[in-house]
Structure 1
Amino acid sequence: MKKLRSKKGSTLIMLIMSIGIISLLGTSILGVTMMNYKIKKANTDLKHTFYMSETGLDKAYDRAYNLVLEAVNEGSSASQDFINELTEEISTLNSAENEAPPTVKDAYRDYIIIGTDKPFIAESNEVEIKIRASEIFNSTYENYMDAFKINQTLDSSFSPYDSGLEVEVEYSKWDNETGRPAKRTLTIGIRSSYISEYTKRVSASLIIGIPDYEEPFTIETKIVPVHKLWTYGIAADNIIIGNNSYNGDKVTVSGDVYAGVNLEINGRNTEAYFDKSLIAAGSTIDNYGILLKGPDSYLRVKDVFAKNIIMSGTGASFTTYPNSRIYVKDDLEMNNTAQTTDIDGSYYGFSPGGEQHEVNTLNSALIINSPDIASGGSKFNISGDLVLYGTSYIKGTPYATGESVSIPGNYIAYTRPLSGGTSEGKSMVWDNIITQYYDPLPPLAYSFRSGGDMWVWNKADYFTQYSMEHGTGLNLGGGNITVGGNIETLGTGLNGTEIKTSSFNLEFLEKINNKNTYRTIYEERAKNYYDAGFKAKVSSNHMSQIQGSELIYIDDDDVVIDDGIYDGHFTDRGIIVTNGDIVINGEFNFKGSLIAGGDIIINSERGNAVNIIHDGNYVAKLIAENNLYNTLFSEVDAGSFAITVYKNSISAKIDFKDYIDFRDWKIE
C-alpha cells in the first residue's frame, strides 16, 4: 500500500495554532493590564479619599483659628471694660482734694492704692490690675469657647463643593492646670470622614491654648472713614434678578441696595425682599428705575428712592414692610391684570414736570392701566399719605390731563360739554373752552377762551365739574384704589369711589417749586458714587485675597459665582468690587458687600436662594485690616467707624498658630 506523504494544509494548521496562542497571550496581557489599571485606579481613589478626609481637619483648623480670634476679641473687651471702670473710679476719687483718705469700694480695694500724704491721692495698683485683667481675659476666652459654640462652628456643614466630607466633634474639654492666673488648655477630638466609593476617616486632637494677656498680640483702634459704596449690601449699574429661563428665584438682601440705572425682576414667580433702602435711580431719560417684568413677580421693600416703579408682568406685586416711605421721581404704573400695590406707609411723587405741565418729562403721577381694577382683579392701597406733584398724560399726545391718579378711559371727560363750574373765577361752561384735536382722539378741552392757558389745576377743576355732571361715565376703580392718609395732589386724586379735588394754592406751588423737601431727600440718596474716579481706583488697586471662605476681590474682570464657588474656592463673606459684572448662579449665602461698576445678575432657580447680609462693622473691619480706606475707599461721605484691629509685633494680621496644634493624628 502506498503511503501519502503530502504536506498540503500544514501551514494553515500552524497558523491557526499560532493565532490561538497569540490570542491567549493577548487576553492574558489585557487581563493583567485591566487588573493593574483597576489597582491603580483604586489606589488613586483611595488616596483622593484619604486626602479629602484630611481636608476636613484643615477646614476644622481654619474654623478654630477664627474662633480663637473671636474669643480673643471677647476677652480683650471684657478686660478693657474692667480697666475702664477702675480708671473712672480713680478719677472720681481724685475729683476733689481729699483731706481725709477716701473710701474705696470693696470691689476695687485690691486694685487702688491711697497715698499717705495730704491730699490723699488714689493710684492704680498696676501689678494686681494686670493679674486681674489677665484672669478676666482668660475666663472670658474660655467661656466663649463653650461646647455648644465649638460644635456649632467646627461641626457645621460645608459647601456643595465639599460633598461627601463630614467633620464630627467627638468631645471637647478644658484641662485643670492651676496657677495665678490660671492657664488652661482646650482639647477637641475631631474625626473627619470622606464618603464616596470608598470611605476614609482620620482623627486628631486639636489643642488650643490661651494666649498670654497682651502677648503676643496688641490691640489697635482704627478710625475708618465712611465711603457710601461700602455701606450698601449690593450696588451696581443694573441689578437683574431672574430671566425667562428661570422660575422661582428668591433673593433676600438685608442691607441697602443701590441700582444706578434699573432694578429688574424678570423671572416667573421671582421674589425679592429688601428690608432696608432700595435706590433705583434710572440715571438717564431712557431708564426706568424699578421694573417688575416677570409674571407673578414679587418685590417687598422698605424705603424706596426710584425714578419709576413700572409693573408690567401679569400678577406682579409691589409691597412694603411697615412704615415705609416711597419717593418716586416720575410715575408708578400698573400695566397688566391681577396686579397688586400694597404700601404700608406713605408715597411721595415729587416732580411737577415742565412749564404749565405740558411736557411729559418727570411728571409724577399714579397711572393705573390694569383693565381689571374695577372688578377687583388688581388693587392699589396706601395706608399713609399720597403726595403727587404732577399729572398724567394721554398716551401719544402732549396733553396733560387734570388727574394725578389716572385710569384709562377717563380722558373722555375732556371731550364733552359742561353746563357749569368755575376755575380761578373763570366760567367753565363749554362755550368758554378752546378745544384742540389730537389724532386719533376727538377734540380735547385745552384752554380758556377768555385769555390765558388752561393750567393743570384748571383741568383738575374741569374733571371735577365733569364728574358732578356725568359721573356715572367715569372709571373710578370700583373702590379698589384706597388711601389711608391725606391726599395732596396737583390734579385730582381717587380714594375708593371718591374723587379728591386738586390741592392747588400758592402754598402748594411753593412746596413744589421752591421748598421741594421730597426732591431734596431723593437727590441725596440717589447720588452715583461709582463715578469715573472710583473706577480708576478699582483698576489700580488689584487684590484677590482668600482666607478660609472669606474673599476680598478688587479688579476689573467679571466675577461669576456658582453655588458659592468662585475660582474653585467656596466663599460666604468678604468684599467684592469690580468694574465688570457680578454673576450669581444657584444658591449663595454671603455676608459683606458686592459692588459692581457693571451689572449684578442673579439667577438662583427654584429650590435655591440668594441671601446677602450687610454688616457695617464687619465690612469696616475688613477695610481697616487691609488699609482700603487709604486707597480704594478714601473719600469721606459722612461719619466714621471705630474698629478694633488685632496684630502681633511682626505682622499686621493675627497669627496664633503657636496656640493651635494637632496631636494624636491617626487613620481609622
Structure 2
Amino acid sequence: MKKKKKASTLVTLIIVIMVLSTVGAALISLTFSGYRARIGETNRLENLYGAESGLDLSYNIIANSIEKAIDQGEKAVKASGETNYDKCNDIFKKDVSDYLMVNLKNNIENRIWFDVKNNSSKDIKLDNDKGNFKVDSKVKAVDGSKVKVGAIEYYKQFDIKLTSTFQCNNKNGEGNKISRVIEARYTINIPDYLNIKYQTIYNKDYKNYKQVIAVDGDIDLSGKVKINGDIYAKGSSNNQYTGIKNKYNGGINLSPLAEVSVNKGNIITPRTIQINSNAQLIAEDIYGGNINFGKKCSSDNAAKNGEIKANSLCLRNDLAINSVGAIVNIKSFYGINDFYSLSKTNDGSNKETVVTRGNEDLSSSIIINENSATINISDEAYIWGAAFVNSYETGESVSVKGNYKAYSYPLPLTSGDAKFKYQDSMQLLYKIGDEEVTVFDKATYIKEYDDISKESNFSIDKPGTISLPVNNTYSIASYITKSTDEKGQLIKGTDLDTLINKQEEVTKKQEEYTEKVFGMGSYNWNESDDKTEVFANGEIKKSVSKGSTTDGLVDFSKITSEINQNSLTIKDKDGLEKEMWITLNKDEEKDVVIVGKDIDDSKYKDSKYIKINGDRINGLIVTAGDVIVTGEVNFTGSILAKGNLKVENDEKEKVFTSGGTYVDKILQYEKISKDIIEIPDTVTEPESIVSDRVDANKPYKIKDAIVKKLWKVKK
C-alpha cells in the first residue's frame, strides 16, 4: 500500500513539472516574439524618420539653391546696366529660372550647399552607422508658366517631386529588409526682383519733366542766372508778326550786364531773344523768332557788346546785330523761313505761301547794323531768306548796313537794262529789262557791283570778323565770310539746284521748330496736320494757358481755390528728404513773389502778392499772374505762368532746375487732376537701381517661394 502511494506521487510530480515546463516555454516564446515585434517596429519607425529627414534636408537645399539663384540674378541685373525696373525684373527672373532648371536636381541629389556670402560650396556628409537615406528628385517647369519678353524667355514656376528612401543597416544586420519610402511634392514660384530702397517708386509711373519755366508773357532776366532745363516764353505781343518796326518786341529779354547760362535744355520762344548791352547768353540749342543784339529801333539808345555762345540757333526770322562789338559763337545756324515756305491748296498741291514770300518780318537772314560785330559759325549754316531795307528786299542773306547802296547805281554790264524807282526816299533797282528783279537777280547784281567797285571809294563793307563754314553754307542770296587772307569776301549765294536739294532738310527743321515752338513740345499732332503750313503761318497750337482754340498746360478755369503752402516731403533718388512747395493761383491781378535770402521783402506785403520765402525752394508754381524772383534763390521744379516772369537785378544769383519726378509726385500726392495741370514730359527716367548685395532672406522671403503640395508614405 505504501509502494502504490509513492508511485502516484511521483507521477503527479512529473505531470506538474511537464505542465510548468510547457507553460514556461510558451511564456518564453511569447515574450521573445513580442520582443522581436517591438524591435521590428522600432526599425520601421527609425527608417520612416530617416526617410523624412531626407525630405527635410532636401527642402533646405532647395531654399539654399534659390538663394544662390537670387544672387546670380542680382549680379546679372547689375552687369546689364539696365535701369528700367520691368526690364531688370525680366533679367533677374530669367537668370533665377535658368539656374534652377540646370542645377536644382543635382544640388538635391548630391547634397550641395552654398555659402553665398563667401561664394563657396560644399557637399553635405552624413555619418550614420545604421544606414543613410537616398533622395530622388524630378524637377520640371509648370505647364503654361513660360514668359517671353522680347529676346528674354523664362519660367515663372517649377514643380518638384522628391522620393526619399531609408533602410536600416546596423552592425548586427537587424532590419536589413525593412525600408521606408516617403514622397513629397513642392511648387517653386520665381520671386520678383526687389530693390530695397526704391521698391515703391517702381510701382508707379513717375515722369521726368525738363520744363522749368514756361510763361505766356515775357521772361526778363537780370544779373547772374543759371537754368538747368527748358525755358519757354510765348511773348506778350500779338501772336502774329506785326511789321518790321516792332518785330523784335516780346519774348525773352537779357537786361544789360546779365549773365545767363542754360544747360540740359532748350531756350524756346516764337518771339525775340533780346541781348542788351554787355549781356551774355551761354546755351545749348535755341529756338526763336529772332535774336536781336542792342537797339530794337533806330531811336533807341546806342548799345555795345553782348555775346551768345550756343550749339545751334534755329530762327524763324533774323539774327540782328544792333550793338557795337556784339559777338556770336555758334556751331550751327538755321535761318529757315522763306524760299520755299509751303502750304497746301484745296486740291492737295503745294503753293508758295503769300504770308512769307517777300515779307520783311518773315524772311530769315543775318543783319549787321553796327561796326565791329564778330560772327563765327563753325559747322553749318542755312540762310533761307534775305535782308530788307524798310520794305525793299535786298539780295543779301548776310547783310551789312549801308551795302544797299549797290542797288542805287547802274552797273556797266547792265546799265542799259537796269531800271530804278524811288522807294522809301531811295532810288533802288526794281527791273532789268522788262522783268522785275528777284532776290536771285539782286544777289547777282550786288556781286557784280562788288567786283567792279573793289578799288573805288564806293566799295561795299565786308568785315573780316564774319566767318561762315566754307563748304557747309547754303544761302538763298549773297553773304559775307572771312577769306583765307583774313579779309572779308562776298559770296554770291548757293545755286538754285543745291537749294532745292537742301529744301528737304530745311523742311524737317521747320517741322522740328513747329513741334518745339508752336506745339510747345507736347501738342498732340494729328496725322492730317501740316506742320510746314503751321510754321509758315506762325500758328501757336499750345501755350501755358488753355484757351478756346488753343491747347494748354493749365486750365485756370478749373482751379477752385488758391493754394500756397509747403505740400509734403518727398525723398529724392539718393534717399534725401526734400520739402515740396505748391502754389495754385487763378487771379491774374496777383503776383507770385519768390523771396530768397538776404533780401528785404517789405514791399511785397500787399495782398496782391503771394509770397514764397526761402533760398532753396522745391515745388510747383502755377499762376495766372506774373512771377517775380528776388534775392538768392535755388529753385527746383516747374514754374507755369499765364503772365510774365521777371528776375530782379539785385546782384544775387538765381538758379532754376527742372524738377524731374518731383512735379509728377506733387500732382499725384495732392490729387490734382491732370485736367487742370498737364506738364509735358520729355524724358521718362526710373530711379537709380541699388545693386548692393543684401541678406537673401531680407527682404527676399525665400521659403515663401516654396509651396508644399503633397506628402505621403509610399512604403
**Which TM-score applies when normalising by structure 2?**
0.56
Q: Does 1:359 align with 2:359?
A: yes
**CA displacement at 1:630 relative to structure 2:** 3.7
1:603–1:101 Cα change, 3 Å: same
Deviations 1:199-257 (A, max 9, x none): xxxxxxxxxxxxxxx9xxx666222467xxx5311111234335xxxxx7111101111
1:433–1:575 Cα change, 3 Å: same
Deviations 1:123-161 (A, max 9, x none): 6999x9999x99x95xx89xxxxxxxxxxxxxxxxxxxx
Q: Does 1:107 align with 2:116?
A: yes
1:636–1:124 Cα change, 3 Å: farther
Q: Does 1:402 align with 2:410?
A: no
Residue equivalent to 1:517:
508
5+ residue gaps, structure 2 = 1-82, 122-134, 142-156, 161-185, 236-249, 296-302, 340-352, 483-487, 520-541, 570-578, 602-609, 689-715
Specify which of 204, 208, 212 is matched with residue 222 of structure 1.
Answer: 204
1:96–1:515 Cα change, 3 Å: farther
**CA displacement at 1:583 relative to structure 2:** 0.9
Specify which of 206, 226, 232 is matched with residue 258 of structure 1.
Answer: 232
Of 95-104 and 555-564, deviating more is 95-104
Q: Does 1:480 align with 2:465?
A: yes
Is the 2:334–2:383 contact (alpha carbons within 8 Å) kept by the matching residues of 1?
A: yes
- Matching residue's letter, 2:210: T
Q: What is the CA–CA distance in structure 2 between the aligned matches of 1:82 and 1:415, rounded to whole Å?
A: 72
What does residue range 567-646 of structure 1 map to in structure 2 within 5 Å? 567=611, 569-570=613-614, 572-606=617-651, 608-628=652-672, 630-634=674-678, 640=684
Q: Does 1:304 align with 2:304?
A: no
- Matching residue's letter, 1:595: L
Q: What is the CA–CA distance in structure 2 between the aligned matches of 1:406 and 1:92, rounded to whole Å?
A: 69
Specify which of 492, 503, 506 is matched with residue 494 of structure 2.
Answer: 503
Residue equivalent to 2:409:
416
Q: What is the CA–CA distance in structure 1 between the aligned matches of 2:442 and 2:224, rounded to whole Å?
A: 45
1:516–1:447 Cα change, 3 Å: farther
**CA displacement at 1:501 relative to structure 2:** 1.9
What does residue range 155-304 of structure 1 map to in structure 2 within 5 Å? 221-224=203-206, 230-242=209-221, 249-261=223-235, 262-265=250-253, 267-282=255-270, 288-293=271-276, 295-304=277-286
Q: What is the CA–CA distance in structure 1 between the aligned matches of 2:287 and 2:113, rounded to whole Å?
A: 57
Specify which of 459, 463, 471 is matched with residue 446 of structure 2.
Answer: 463
Q: Does 1:558 align with 2:591?
A: yes
Q: What is the CA–CA distance in structure 2 between the aligned matches of 1:358 and 1:305, rounded to whole Å?
A: 22
Q: What is the CA–CA distance in structure 2 between the aligned matches of 1:419 and 1:340, rounded to whole Å?
A: 38
1:365–1:231 Cα change, 3 Å: same
Deviations 1:632-666 (A, max 9, x none): 3458777755579xxxxxxxxxxxxxxxxxxxxxx
Deviations 1:558-616 (A, max 9, x none): 2112226863643511111112111111211111111111111110412x111011142
Q: What is the CA–CA distance in structure 2 between the aligned matches of 1:82 and 1:349, rounded to whole Å?
A: 45
Residue equivalent to 1:538:
556
Is the 2:580–2:666 contact (alpha carbons within 8 Å) kept by the matching residues of 1?
A: no
Helix, strand or coil at the partner of 1:92: helix
1:260–1:439 Cα change, 3 Å: closer
Q: What is the CA–CA distance in structure 2 between the aligned matches of 1:342 and 1:635, rounded to whole Å?
A: 33
Residue equivalent to 1:67:
none
Larger radius of gyration: 2
1:123–1:116 Cα change, 3 Å: farther
1:613–1:120 Cα change, 3 Å: same
Q: What is the CA–CA distance in structure 1 between the aligned matches of 2:582 and 2:509, rounded to whole Å?
A: 37
What does residue range 418-433 of structure 1 map to in structure 2 within 5 Å? 418-420=411-413, 429-433=414-418
Residue equivalent to 1:529:
543
Q: What is the CA–CA distance in structure 1 between the aligned matches of 2:644 and 2:637, rounded to whole Å?
A: 18
Deviations 1:529-566 (A, max 9, x none): 32326476334234434147421112224211222686
Helix, strand or coil at the partner of 1:117: strand
Of 353-362 and 79-88, deviating more is 79-88
Residue equivalent to 2:45:
none
1:110–1:583 Cα change, 3 Å: farther
Residue equivalent to 2:696:
none
**CA displacement at 1:292 relative to structure 2:** 1.8
Specify which of 126, 138, 143 is matched with residue 118 of structure 1.
Answer: 138
Q: What is the CA–CA distance in structure 1 between the aligned matches of 2:405 and 2:214, rounded to whole Å?
A: 44
- Matching residue's letter, 1:92: D
Helix, strand or coil at the partner of 1:462: helix
Q: What is the CA–CA distance in structure 1 between the aligned matches of 2:444 and 2:432, rounded to whole Å?
A: 12
Q: What is the CA–CA distance in structure 1 between the aligned matches of 2:120 and 2:158, rounded to whole Å?
A: 11
Is the 1:535–1:579 contact (alpha carbons within 8 Å) kept by the matching residues of 2?
A: no
Is the 1:100–1:120 contact (alpha carbons within 8 Å) kept by the matching residues of 2?
A: no
Specify which of 371, 380, 383 is matched with residue 378 of structure 2.
Answer: 383
Pairwise CA RMSD of aligned residues?
4.2
Is the 2:287–2:314 contact (alpha carbons within 8 Å) kept by the matching residues of 1?
A: yes
Residue equivalent to 2:369:
369
Deviations 1:457-491 (A, max 9, x none): 11111111111111343343430111235211000
Is the 1:365–1:389 contact (alpha carbons within 8 Å) kept by the matching residues of 2?
A: yes
Is the 2:96–2:190 contact (alpha carbons within 8 Å) kept by the matching residues of 1?
A: no
- Matching residue's letter, 1:555: N
Deviations 1:284-337 (A, max 9, x none): xxxx411123x212222210100000111623423224xx12100000111121
Q: What is the CA–CA distance in structure 1 between the aligned matches of 2:90 and 2:116, rounded to whole Å?
A: 14
Is the 1:590–1:613 contact (alpha carbons within 8 Å) kept by the matching residues of 2?
A: yes
Q: What is the CA–CA distance in structure 1 between the aligned matches of 2:203 and 2:114, rounded to whole Å?
A: 31
Is the 2:268–2:516 contact (alpha carbons within 8 Å) kept by the matching residues of 1?
A: no
1:586–1:568 Cα change, 3 Å: closer
Deviations 1:378-424 (A, max 9, x none): 322212212100001112xx32111000111111111222233xxxx
**CA displacement at 1:453 relative to structure 2:** 2.7
5+ residue gaps, structure 1 = 1-76, 142-213, 243-247, 283-287, 421-428, 645-668
- Matching residue's letter, 1:349: G
1:273–1:475 Cα change, 3 Å: farther
Q: What is the CA–CA distance in structure 1 between the aligned matches of 2:481 and 2:202, rounded to whole Å?
A: 59
Q: Does 1:90 align with 2:96?
A: yes
1:236–1:93 Cα change, 3 Å: same
**CA displacement at 1:618 relative to structure 2:** 3.1
1:433–1:106 Cα change, 3 Å: farther
Helix, strand or coil at the partner of 2:360: coil
1:107–1:81 Cα change, 3 Å: farther
Is the 1:90–1:123 contact (alpha carbons within 8 Å) kept by the matching residues of 2?
A: no
**Which TM-score applies when normalising by structure 1?**
0.59
1:438–1:329 Cα change, 3 Å: same
- Matching residue's letter, 1:117: S
Helix, strand or coil at the partner of 1:383: strand
Q: What is the CA–CA distance in structure 2 between the aligned matches of 1:308 and 1:238, rounded to whole Å?
A: 16
1:519–1:596 Cα change, 3 Å: same
Is the 1:544–1:551 contact (alpha carbons within 8 Å) kept by the matching residues of 2?
A: yes
1:639–1:487 Cα change, 3 Å: closer
Equivalenced residue count is: 452
Is the 2:418–2:429 contact (alpha carbons within 8 Å) kept by the matching residues of 1?
A: yes
Is the 1:389–1:490 contact (alpha carbons within 8 Å) kept by the matching residues of 2?
A: yes
